Structures are given as structure tokens and as C-alpha cells.
Structure 1
Amino acid sequence: MVGSAAGQISVEIELDQQQFLPGEPLPVAVRITNLSGQPLRLGEDNDWLGISIEGQGNRVVRQLGELPVYGPFTLESSQRATRRLDVAPYFELTRQGRYRMQATVRIAAWDREFVSPPVGFDIITGARLWEREFGVPAAEPGAPPVMRKYILQEANYLKRNLRLYLRITDPSETQILRVLPLGPIVSFANPQPQLDGDSNLHLLFQNGRTTCAYYVIRPDGEIAVRQTWEIVPGSRPRLSFDNAGRVVVVGGVRRYAPTDLPPSLSGSPPQNPGPATNSPPGS
């Protein structure tokens, strides 16, 4: 039996955004409100919460794996709980188009299901700005390197804001290994990508009127370095190489921020314009 959203249990889905690239994390917040007048015991198996997704023409999107929803908890009457999860790895969301998603909460003791109103979102394809194949050492000594590909793409989020993404795939692009949203990018300046000797991607791009974002991203998609640089009169940040062949940022002024990786020391003074070496920690 399917329960009404206005009945004993209220179920809602919330998305932080409505547009995603194929393979991009798709975080979902499922909000459950207990209006039954009694405590509910939830999360005691993997069947208590389900997600279903349909594409255009009511096409059911294939589910690739079991959602990790196990985790017992008690929801008191008149209280609300939120279960957060990334559904992207568990559904075949590779086609461009419009989709709708619903959540279903199952109360086994009542033999009832409560379904959320549908929430719409789009899978989009971004404009390709740059790509480069690279190799990473194989696990077995003497074996040839494993080849991968970095792809920089920009997407026009809500037709107002350009955002930059990095995709890491196999050379044929049939396997998406990682999709990283890197933030806003201005339309009038091209990003500056550069690989170092360890196949780390160094990336500098303008994300505001006078600010640039600098990233160092490892071949597995982990962010090793994240910094903010300022454009100042007569000095603009750019990537270069030092005498040792390391990729460095030259020009501009470093601006320390809470989002820095590795974290910056509190109250660190700004750097003067000039070169700064930014090798990933441990390299």
C-alpha cells in the first residue's frame, strides 16, 4: 500500500543543483517527517529507503548497485530526519536529457510505502576546452603504464554561470573514473593546464574579476593543492617552470583562504608577486 505524503509519513527530496555532467556526484537529501504520533525505527535493513529515477518517455534508469542506506535510528513523532547520499555511482546516468527522481520509505511493520513528490534534474554535456592522455605506473613491476585522460569542460549552469569541470577517463572515454566540479570560470579567459613529471595536473583559471583558482590534481582525482591568487596591476598569475623543472605559479599575489589545501596557517601574510613552487605534498 502506498501512503500519502500528507499522511503519517512525509517524504521529500532536495537537490543542491538541477544540472549535472555524466559521472558528476549527485548528492541527494531525503527528508523524512514522522507525523504518525509514535516513534519509528528506521534504517535496520537496506530496503527501508529506495530511490527511483526515470528519464524522458518514462524510461526507467537502470540501477547499478544497492544504495548504502543501512544504519538504524529512531525517528520520534513530529521530528524530521535527513538521509544524505550520492546516487550517481548507483544509476546509469550517461544520457543527456531531463530526469525525475523519487524516494520511497518502506515501513515493514505497517506493510506500507510512502513516496516523495518527483524532483527534476538534467544531465548535460559541457563544452570541451582541453584534453590530454597520460600514463600512471602499473601495479606490477615491468608492466606498461595504465593510460588515462584528463578532460577540461565548462558547463553553463542555469544559463547564467559558467562552471569548470575536470573529467578523468580511460583513453576511449567509455569509463569515467572521476568528475570534479572546480567552480565558476569567467568567459573571457582560458584556463591554463600543465602536467608535471608525476602526471599531476596543475590548473590555473580566472574565477572572478580579479581572482584566480589554482589546483593540483593527482591522477586518481584527489585534490592535492587548492589556492586563490589575485591579479594585481602589472602582474597576473600564470604557470611556469622553475630551474628544477617544477611547475610554479609566477606573478600575482597569493591570497590565503579557509578553503586552501593544504590548509594555510591562520594570519599568514600575503606573498609578494613572484614565483611560488607548488609541488603536491609528499611528491
Structure 2
Amino acid sequence: MRMRLFISLAAFASLMLGLMPSAKAQIGITVELNRLNYHQYEWVYARVHLRNYSGHPLAFGESNDLKGRLSFEIEDSKSDFVDKIGTDVPPLEGIILNRGEVKSIIVPISQYYKCVNPGKYTLRAVVEHSLFKEKYQSAPVSFNIITGVQMWERIVGVPDFIKKDPDSKIKTRKYRIESMFDGNNKVYYMIIEDDAKVYSVKRIGFEINNSTPLCEVDSLSRIHIIVQAGAKVFTYLRYDIDGKLEEKEVYFKTDTSPILVRNAEDGTLIVAGGRKARKDLDYQEVEDKTF
């Protein structure tokens, strides 16, 4: 408990120091990330804190007198700057900072910058405003892009219900289950891809008691997954070929654990064993927040 308190106080002190102004600073800026390690195709998110030290209210708008800009400088492990995706920047229009006020902005970094190659990255946030001559930069934070350890894979055909071209070849995609350490926990990911594109990356659960996800694909090329979520709690997930979650159920272990059972005649899959869990009695629903 003391160690957790010490870490929390240290993180708070670091944030406050970052927001303290230098002799000339008009805006204090700090940045934090939601985790240390990210899967290669997972989006990276940053939370930027802005504090107004100018002594005047500060508004970000579209007019020339109110124009402001938030950008990032990201260096890879070779100290090369990461390329931007297009020309868009995170929007600041509509933000008003009163004197001394702090506001926070969550930015999907991967929407604006190409952070996909495995390696270590260093990120700084930069803010500018038409009222100030100088740009203001945060202290650097680091993160890692890593590839997971493959646990399971299956190549499936992509269903064609319309059959526009009956002579065309069957398209295929690959389901993969990987595990990796995100800086706090060992996490399981589901990836859907083909040779040209990654269609979906989902965090499906955590490693508990050295368990591994149970996975099967049905006759419609949908993936069914059972992943342990607690000592006696299991989560069942069903995704379509594009990674859309179609069904989610929580099960509780009884004399038997839930497993996937296939109907040999039509290829459908059902969950057998255990029973459906009772929310707030057998488990607590935890919201998956970015921060």
C-alpha cells in the first residue's frame, strides 16, 4: 500500500512540475500515455494537460487572433522523426482556458502519426497560439511498439453472400491470437488480417492462472473465443470476419468449465459447461477506459 501511495505521489509531483511555468512560459504543457507497451497495430493514446499562465483568458478558435495548434514530435529508436499521416492536427477549437486553469485533451496519436514499426519511441507535445511568439513543449515520454507471442491462428474464407462474381476466387483472412506484456499485465489480443491489410486488433482479456483462450471458427467464418476473466469467471466473445463484436456473455464455473462445442452437421458452435454468470454477484462489470 505504501509503495502504491509513493508511486501515485511521484506521478502527481511529476505532472505538477511539468505544469509549472518557466520564467517566460505562457502555457504549461505535460503529456502522459495510457500504457508503456502497445501492440504493433494497436492505437496509441496520449493525454495532454494544458495550463494557462498568461494572466488572461485564452481561447482556441478559428479566427486569426485565436488560432492555436497542438502537434507532436515523435522520434523512433534511430532518433528519426516519425512521419505524419496527412496534414490534419488534433483539433483545439472551442477550448477556453481561464487564468490558471488546467484542461486535458485525449489524442489518438496513431490517427495522426505512423507509429507501427516495432521499437522504442520518444514523444513530446507541442502547443502554439497566435497570441504568443514562442511554441511550448512538454517533457518527453517514452513508449514501445512490440509484436506479441502467437498463441493460435486460423486461415478462413471470407463469406460472399451476394455472389457478384461466381467465378472469382475465394478471399481469405487470418485470425491470430497473441499475448504480450503491456507494462502492467500480460494481455491477449485478437488480430484479423490478410496479406494487404489489418482489419481489426482487439484486446480480449488478460492471462489468469496461466490460462489461454479457447478459440474456434464456425461455418460463417466467425471466431468464437472463451477467455478466463477471474478464478471462476469466463468471458465468451463472438466476432465477425471484420472484427465486429456480435455477442458477449459471461459464464461462471460450476462442476464444469465452459467450453466450445461444434455441431458436426452444420458447423455451428455453442458454449457448454458452467452457467451464465450473474452481474454484481458473480462478477463486476469493468469499463474499458482509454485512461
The TM tier, using the shorter chain, reads 0.7 to 0.9
Give 2:205's aligned residue: 183
The answer on whether the counterparts of 1:226 and 1:259 sit within 8 Å (CA) in structure 2 is: no
Structure 1 segments of 4+ aligned residues over 4 angstroms from their partners: 137-140, 242-245
Give 1:153's aligned residue: 178
| Distance in 1 of aligned mates of 2:68 and 2:27 | 16
The answer on whether the counterparts of 1:24 and 1:181 sit within 8 Å (CA) in structure 2 is: no
- TM-score of the pair, normalised by structure 1: 0.80
* Amino acid of the structure 2 residue aligned with 1:122: N
Q: Report the alpha carbon displacement of residue 106 of structure 1 after superposing the two structures with TM.
A: 0.9
| Distance in 1 of aligned mates of 2:224 and 2:143 | 32
* 1:203-253, Cα deviation, whole Å (9 max, x unpaired): 012233222121111222222222222222x21100113576431111112
* Amino acid of the structure 1 residue aligned with 2:247: V
Seen in structure 2, the aligned counterparts of structure 1 residues 187 and 131 have a Cα distance that, compared at 3 Å, is farther
- TM-score of the pair, normalised by structure 2: 0.78
Residue 183 of structure 2 corresponds to residue 162 of structure 1: no
Equivalent position to 1:51, from 72, 79, 89 = 72
Moved more, 60-69 or 245-254: 60-69
Seen in structure 2, the aligned counterparts of structure 1 residues 88 and 5 have a Cα distance that, compared at 3 Å, is farther
Moved more, 20-29 or 248-257: 248-257
Seen in structure 2, the aligned counterparts of structure 1 residues 78 and 236 have a Cα distance that, compared at 3 Å, is same
Give 1:41's aligned residue: 59
Q: Which has the higher helix share?
A: 2
* 1:41-95, Cα deviation, whole Å (9 max, x unpaired): 1253896110221111312112223234253222211111111121123322222
Q: Report the alpha carbon displacement of residue 36 of structure 1 after superposing the two structures with TM.
A: 1.1
- State the SS of the aligned residue for 1:88: helix
| Distance in 2 of aligned mates of 1:54 and 1:140 | 47
The answer on whether the counterparts of 2:204 and 2:227 sit within 8 Å (CA) in structure 1 is: no
Give 1:228's aligned residue: 250
% of aligned pairs identical? 25
Residue 196 of structure 2 corresponds to residue 196 of structure 1: no
Q: Report the alpha carbon displacement of residue 161 of structure 1 after superposing the two structures with TM.
A: 2.7
Q: Give RMSD over aligned pairs.
A: 2.6
The answer on whether the counterparts of 1:96 and 1:122 sit within 8 Å (CA) in structure 2 is: yes
| Distance in 2 of aligned mates of 1:156 and 1:182 | 14
* Amino acid of the structure 1 residue aligned with 2:176: I
Unpaired runs of at least 5, structure 1: 261-283
Equivalent position to 1:27, from 16, 29, 45 = 45
Paired residues in the alignment total 254
Unpaired runs of at least 5, structure 2: 1-19, 287-291
| Distance in 2 of aligned mates of 1:87 and 1:100 | 12
Q: Which has the higher strand share?
A: 1
- State the SS of the aligned residue for 1:177: strand
1:1-283 alignment, distance < 5 Å: 5-6=21-22, 7-42=25-60, 44=62, 48-65=69-86, 66-137=88-159, 141-142=164-165, 143-158=168-183, 161-170=185-194, 172=195, 175-186=197-208, 188-232=210-254, 234-242=255-263, 245-257=267-279, 259=285
